[in-house]
Amino acid sequence: MTSNTTTTMPRARNAAPKLAGIEGLRGVAALSVLVYHVQRGLNPSSRANVFFHDLTYLSHGVTLFFVLSGFLLYRPFAAALLGQMPHPDLRRYFVSRFLRIFPAYLVVLWATSIALRTAFLPRNSNGAAQQAGALSWPDLLMASTLAQGATPRSIRSGLEVAWTLGVELSFYILLPAAVWLAAIIGQRCRGRLPAALIPPCLFLALGLTGKLWLLITQMGLTGSERVNLEWGANWGAVAARSILIHADLFAYGMLAALALHLAHAHAPRFFDRPMIRVSLQAIVLAVTAGLVIGLITGPFTSSVVAIAAAALLLLTATASGQSLLHGITNAPVLRWCGIVSFSVYLWHLPVIRWLHNRGWVFPDTYWGLLTNIALILSLTLLLAAATYYAIEAPALRMKDRHRDARRPRRS
């Protein structure tokens, strides 16, 4: 960094503060997806019960994960575009992203296929029966690179939830490119805020366009045909499980990050204002009510939920230490679940399938649902803790060592 750049860089106090409650939200997202899959896979009849029907909406834990990724990853880039911090080192960025995903993912994938033999096998046609077992070596190697989502036959093979990791990986790659474009435009237009708005607007436009395409494509289709279009072995499903449809979910988190940076720089107590907090709470409650009573449906459902997730994220990140929300999201158990949430996300479906194949699950009753949740959660947390402390934590320390090695020494 040149001396001229150093003299024009804003003071460190302009950098955004470390946020509380984020790990708790990660924990909420992971546990939500786990409960959803337990109900869907082991206790589907419980959906007919008024008390358990709404558990189906816990699938939007994935939406919360995408919003959190957009928020957390765009924060340093937004600060740089706003002139509050230097631009992040891209080599460190990509190394960090690789170490965050692949070590734990590869361990769980290979263990699921080779040891547990409960990997999701490729399908050659729509409507083909779901089968689990050991992947062939070519399919295992394809899944190891997260390339399985690129073809209709292999989509969702290996770890079924890995399609979301493919979406995340696409976001990791596209984000620096969008920021680079925004930086160029910002230099020519001499506007920091418009430049910082460009990346989230690009992802917003991409995702909403993709959802509009999905909506048009689904017109006239029956319910089963819609399911096949989004989840079958066809090119429509390849698009539906890609960044093309889900890009806007990251954008809402990115906009939340930008709003938080602007508030910190120009109005530090903006999110403490009662009217702002009530408005954000109203968004969360309105979307929740809309889901429960069935007013929010269709391809844009995840977009509406993502807006509520971004509002919840802002409420959580700016909650006072005495608030109920702060107490919940910073509870030690929920924070720990957030720390191991990635391994929880990877392990829970292999655990469900392995137990189900052996008949070691409880019946499809209401009490069976509750006991299955307790059983799956206990085993998944044990495996997640082992994976985190043995694989993820050392990988994260490697990331920190890489950062420290590239940090210039002071004379």
Q: Are 290 and 305 contacting, i.e. CB atoms less than 8 angstroms apart?
A: no
**How many residues does the structure list for the chain?**
411
Q: Are 335 and 37 contacting, i.e. CB atoms less than 8 angstroms apart?
A: no
Task: Please list the alpha-helical segments (H only) found in 241-365.
Answer: 243-266, 274-292, 301-317, 324-329, 332-339, 341-357
- CA 231, CA 213: separation in Å to the nearest integer? 16
- CA 195, CA 360: separation in Å to the nearest integer? 55
Q: Which residue has the tokens 């600060």?
A: 79
Give φ, ψ of 173 to 5 degrees. Answer: -75, -40
| DSSP class of 113 | I
Give the residue extent of every domain in the chain: 20-403
Q: Where are the beta strands (DSSP E) in 27-70?
A: none
Give φ, ψ of 119 to 5 degrees. Answer: -70, 145
Sequential DSSP letters for 243-270: HHHHHHHHHHHHHHHHHHHHHHHH-TTG
- CA 66, CA 309: separation in Å to the nearest integer? 10
- CA 211, CA 379: separation in Å to the nearest integer? 37
Residue 93 is encoded by which pair of tokens? 């960025």
Task: Please list the alpha-helical segments (H only) found in 111-161.
Answer: 137-144
Q: Are 352 and 37 contacting, i.e. CB atoms less than 8 angstroms apart?
A: yes
Please return the burial class of 297, using the count of CB atoms within 10 Å of its CB with bins 0-12, 13-18 and 19+: exposed
pLDDT in tens, the chain (411 residues): 333 333 333 434 444 455 779 999 999 999 999 999 999 999 999 998 888 888 999 999 999 999 999 999 999 999 999 988 899 999 999 999 999 999 999 999 999 999 999 999 999 888 787 899 999 999 999 999 999 999 999 999 999 999 999 999 999 999 999 999 999 988 877 778 999 999 999 999 999 999 999 999 999 899 889 989 999 999 999 999 999 999 999 999 999 999 999 998 888 889 999 999 999 999 999 999 999 888 988 889 999 999 999 999 999 999 988 889 999 999 999 999 999 999 999 999 999 999 999 999 999 999 999 999 999 999 999 999 999 999 999 998 887 665 555 555 443
Task: Please list the alpha-helical segments (H only) found in 111-242.
Answer: 137-144, 162-189, 192-218, 223-231, 235-240
Q: How far is CA 167 from CA 26, 62, 146, in A?
A: 17, 11, 10
Long-range contacts of 166-169 (CB under 8 A, 24+ apart): 166/241, 166/242, 167/66, 167/241, 167/242, 167/243, 167/246, 168/66, 168/69, 168/101, 169/97, 169/101
CB atoms within 10 A of CB 33: 24
- Cα torsion 37, 38, 42, 43: sign: negative
Type and span of the H or E element at 119: strand 119-120
pLDDT of residue 267: 86
Task: Please list the alpha-helical segments (H only) found in 48-113.
Answer: 61-81, 90-110
Task: Give the residues across from 158 on adjacent strands.
Answer: 120
Q: Are 230 and 245 contacting, i.e. CB atoms less than 8 angstroms apart?
A: no
Type and span of the H or E element at 132: strand 132-133
- CA 242, CA 247: separation in Å to the nearest integer? 8
Q: Which residue has the tokens 């939500």?
A: 32
Task: Give the residues across from 267 on adjacent strands.
Answer: none
What type of residue is 262? L
pLDDT of residue 400: 67
Q: How far is CA 75 from CA 58, 81, 89, 341, in A?
A: 27, 10, 14, 21
pLDDT of residue 406: 54
